[in-house]
Structure 1
Amino acid sequence: MSDRRQFLSRSIGLAALGLTSGAALADADTYRRFHQALAREPRLTAFAGAAGELSGDAVVHGRMPADLQGVFYRNGPGRFELGGERYHHWFDGDGFVQRWQIGGGKVSHRGRFVATQKFVEESAADQFLYPAFGTYIGRKQPKNNDTMNAANTNLLPLGGRVYALWEGGSAVEVDAQTLETRGIKTWSPELKSMPFSAHPKVDPDGGVWNFGTMPGANLLVLYQLSATGELKRSAVVKVPQLNMVHDFVVSGRHLIFLIPPYDLEAGVDTSYRENLHWAGDKRPLRAVVIAKDTLELRQVFELPARSVFHFGNAFEDGACTRLDVVMHDGDILPELGLVMRGELRPFHASASTVQVTLDYASGQVREARLFGASEFPRVAPQVVSARHRKLVLLGVASGSKDYILNTVNLVDIDSGKADSYSFGAGWQVEEHVLVPRRGARSETDGYLVGVAQDSRRAQTVLTVFDAHNIKAGPRAMARLSYTSPLCFHGNFLPA
């Protein structure tokens, strides 16, 4: 693991990422503009953040399925303001983990901040101290990745433990019941403080694949964990011009990464996001394929330049691999930050979900469009890395002008038909996941479970659909009396 030591000691270069000491550029003007907009636009409530711990019992409308029992873990940024200043980007907020307990027809909720080193020190100082993804702050110099770990993107139950995950640092363990922070998880001494992505893939047998990126060092670290959470294998692969890689996909024989065309160029008093410069006019989007058996690079494909956040699933099809991915035209990172100052931009307008076929013999790539404006794809857990036919997507209702995600859709990837439900105006829908019944015989033998924000009532709502009949609408909705912060990702742990 000499590459790891080089990365931590010199290769990444904190200055190259805009992470050296200097003036703080989180500002009061962003704070003022957001709150002026919030007074006019209730949908911004989900981006206001939380003041502290939340807990309560939900009021259930409809009937919860008797066989739906377990915990739905969720995570997302929950603190955007401190000391009169507000972050510039949605991705910057401190992690606010949430736990929805479902059973016996009842639903309860708890939300709590992850007490990372960053969160604890900044709370004590009553001001932001460390650099964030999209906001340059240089009041205090970070010593390593975990000094500025926001733990704000996903919540993974694994081997009886639960981990809050972030893009660029270690997993942070939280208590499975109380959500109290237990501390940094180190998978092995050689992997201490290494990036552990927020998008691990859980095989049907419970084993986990994950990765971490090292911008500035052009190194990709790979992890394979057992179902009980022990490290089985790790490796480091060199990938030229490696930059922000948010997600990946796993098939029966491969790990596949799409590398958007960004140049990483250091600036003065700039954030990491500001140092990523779109180079789509010069370079393609690259598909990097790693063989599972050797953890070595197998092949690289080129696609038209686009940006990518999330994948659905992948499977082998003869001498090819087919995968689902949401593609965005151009660089949408700046638009995703504008909500911090109260601007709801149509950043999903240019998105579409496509199925990509990688042909290893010819080196060619084929694409087939599956769905229009969409995001947050998921598949049934029992078909991860295998042939699937159903893909969950959030979408945008027909005629919507602001492109806020407000529909849930179960798309048949073979026919292209979608079983859909629209929540209507005033709603913002979060990621939904398929929860199979015990002994499920198909991908739709179970439930679709997710969370939605009802801005008209200032309430966060857990929703449950019959997976075989989405268009019928939720069979149960569990309403909180309050709004909890908007989450990115999570996972359902059956009882």
Structure 2
Amino acid sequence: MSHAMNERRQFLTRSIGLAALGLSSGAARADSDTYRRFHQALEHDARLSAYAGVTGELAGDAVIHGRMPDDLQGTFYRNGPGRFELGGERYHHWFDGDGYVQRWQVGGGKVSHRGRFVATQKYIEETAAGQFLYPAFGTYIDRRPVKSNDTVNVANTNLLPFGGRVYALWEGGSAIEVDPQTLETRGIKTWRPNLKGMPFSAHPKADPDGGLWNFGNMPGADKLMIYRLNAAGEVARTGMVDVPDLNMVHDFAISARHLIFLVPPYDMKSGPELSLGDSLHWAGATRPLRVMVIAKDTLQLRQVFELPARMVFHVGNAFEDGACTRLDAVMHEGDTLHELADVMHGEIRPFRDGSSTVQITLDYVAGQAREARLFGASEFPRVAPQVVSVRHRKLAVMGVAPGSADDSFNTVNLIDIDSGKADSYRFDAGWVAEEHVLVPRRGARAETDGYLVGVAQDVRRGQTVLTVFDAHNIKAGPRAMARLSYAPPPCIHGNFLPS
């Protein structure tokens, strides 16, 4: 057996053990009290209806307001948690919910929608049992033994069209293929036999040649698995990188020569009757945020930088700038990871304070990282697909308007990263914006030659709306809105596939 194969096997073995981190025999900790508290709060806050979950498939045609662009044709694939309650019990964290994939078909001036659950092993078995059986990220449950990462795979974070196929992605397990049209689950994707069951994270990055970079991470294993897939979906390269005190890494950036990971300061302290999320303890008072730079050519760690302790979920894009690399990231003050659990018992925390979009400059000669603030309270940074890994000038983010009485995302913004100026639109009161993505016109080079497409919730009417902005004029507001008569669960991430 080769050294590389042996390392992969050891990593996989450790990852499977970590899927059940902290679990021992005992009663389930998903509880009816969380269920009761949530539903009491729901009576007084309509925004919480988005987190009540759904029970089955949704499908319908949208009513168009305005005019859909003739050259905007394709499918907007999206994914997020959709089931939070079963058998009178409720999960403790938003990240725990079973994956609910959605498909918006756009073309010919019409928009249609479909949503359905990913039929994972976990979803099928728990549906049949009428109760939660397996541990989730933020909820301790111990009713049935965990045999592998994919035993607890919820497939709830991203929906990736790639190579003519579509994959529901999660943090800690395999990609799960779904039908591009019906969204029916086809099964677990194994990229290569000796990689079966390896984590394949939810933020792959496309290379200019049509291939993908991705990573696999399991908190506590202290190793990152690096994947390079070619345009045919074949594994071209893999690598294993040691990262001491590795924990919650959700996203990464690629430049022409580097892979860049931001590792927030968490300690792992496992114990009986703890979920994986509960085992992560904020260590920002004593440890920095680490920036790990891996060379693409060798898949070896090139350099480590340190920044003040913050939590990071998402990064935007990275590019080489002489002897430096520059990248965008959204920084959160303090332990935002655990604050996201509050919505499960009926409390929506203010998002206007403690977060900002920054640009980080990694100076390899000086060995220092510098950052410059680009925008205030924000999340979900995205760039145009044609500039991934190369010089970009525009960054889309969702934001919270200064002085807003609302605590949720209510602005769509396209930031000029050189000037710091933002082209912005603010939704009316009672609307909550979700992630928006840049969709270029065919053959476009300019980052604003196309559209900004996303979803927003009209909370007061209990409906979800697809919104289309001209990328060169966000402040003018949506040029078209496609309104459903119902509200599917909010998503975390998605991608637009032009037709």
TM beyond 0.5: yes
Structure 2: state its 5+ residue gaps: none
| Residues 311 and 337, structure 2, Cα contact 8 Å, conserved in 1 | no
Secondary structure of the equivalent of 2:187? strand
Measure, in 2, the Cα distance between the counterparts of 1:191 and 1:392: 34
Is 1:393–2:376 an aligned residue pair? no
Measure, in 1, the Cα distance between the counterparts of 2:30 and 2:472: 47
Q: Deviations over 1:399-456 (max 9, x none)?
A: 1244311100000000111000001211111100000001113000000000001001
Corresponding residue of 2:94: 90
User: Following TM superposition, by how much is the alpha carbon of 1:9 offset from its aligned partner in structure 2, in angstroms?
Assistant: 3.0
| Residues 15 and 266, structure 1, Cα contact 8 Å, conserved in 2 | no
Measure, in 2, the Cα distance between the counterparts of 1:125 and 1:362: 58
Secondary structure of the equivalent of 1:274? coil
Corresponding residue of 2:459: 455
User: Following TM superposition, by how much is the alpha carbon of 1:51 offset from its aligned partner in structure 2, in angstroms?
Assistant: 1.2
Corresponding residue of 1:186: 190
Corresponding residue of 1:333: 337
Q: Which of residues 339, 349, 353 in structure 2 aligns to 1:349?
A: 353
Q: Which of residues 489, 492, 495 in structure 2 aligns to 1:488?
A: 492
User: Following TM superposition, by how much is the alpha carbon of 1:361 offset from its aligned partner in structure 2, in angstroms?
Assistant: 0.8
| Residues 345 and 402, structure 1, Cα contact 8 Å, conserved in 2 | no
User: Following TM superposition, by how much is the alpha carbon of 1:230 offset from its aligned partner in structure 2, in angstroms?
Assistant: 1.3
Q: Which of residues 262, 266, 271 in structure 1 aligns to 2:270?
A: 266
Q: Deviations over 1:215-258 (max 9, x none)?
A: 22211000011122111111111111111100000001000001
Measure, in 1, the Cα distance between the counterparts of 2:429 and 2:15: 49
Corresponding residue of 1:358: 362
Relative to structure 1, is the Cα distance of residues 115 and 186 closer, same or farther in structure 2, using a 3 angstrom cutoff?
same
Corresponding residue of 1:210: 214
Corresponding residue of 1:154: 158
| Residues 160 and 168, structure 2, Cα contact 8 Å, conserved in 1 | yes
Relative to structure 1, is the Cα distance of residues 374 and 127 closer, same or farther in structure 2, using a 3 angstrom cutoff?
same
Corresponding residue of 2:52: 48
Measure, in 1, the Cα distance between the counterparts of 2:299 and 2:19: 31
User: Following TM superposition, by how much is the alpha carbon of 1:40 offset from its aligned partner in structure 2, in angstroms?
Assistant: 1.2
| Residues 16 and 149, structure 2, Cα contact 8 Å, conserved in 1 | no
Corresponding residue of 2:148: 144
Corresponding residue of 1:468: 472
- Name the amino acid aligned to 1:100: W
Matches within 5 A, 1:98-247: 98-247=102-251
Number of residue-to-residue matches in the alignment: 495
Secondary structure of the equivalent of 2:423? strand
Measure, in 2, the Cα distance between the counterparts of 1:287 and 1:15: 25
| Residues 191 and 235, structure 2, Cα contact 8 Å, conserved in 1 | yes
- Name the amino acid aligned to 2:54: A
Measure, in 2, the Cα distance between the counterparts of 1:174 and 1:15: 23
Structure 1 length-normalised TM: 0.98
Q: Deviations over 1:266-317 (max 9, x none)?
A: 1220110110011111111100000001111111111111110000100000
Aligned-residue CA RMSD in angstroms? 1.2
User: Following TM superposition, by how much is the alpha carbon of 1:33 offset from its aligned partner in structure 2, in angstroms?
Assistant: 1.1
Q: Which of residues 427, 435, 443 in structure 2 aligns to 1:439?
A: 443
Is 1:26–2:30 an aligned residue pair? yes
Secondary structure of the equivalent of 2:43? helix
| Residues 19 and 149, structure 2, Cα contact 8 Å, conserved in 1 | no
Secondary structure of the equivalent of 1:233? strand
User: Following TM superposition, by how much is the alpha carbon of 1:349 offset from its aligned partner in structure 2, in angstroms?
Assistant: 2.0
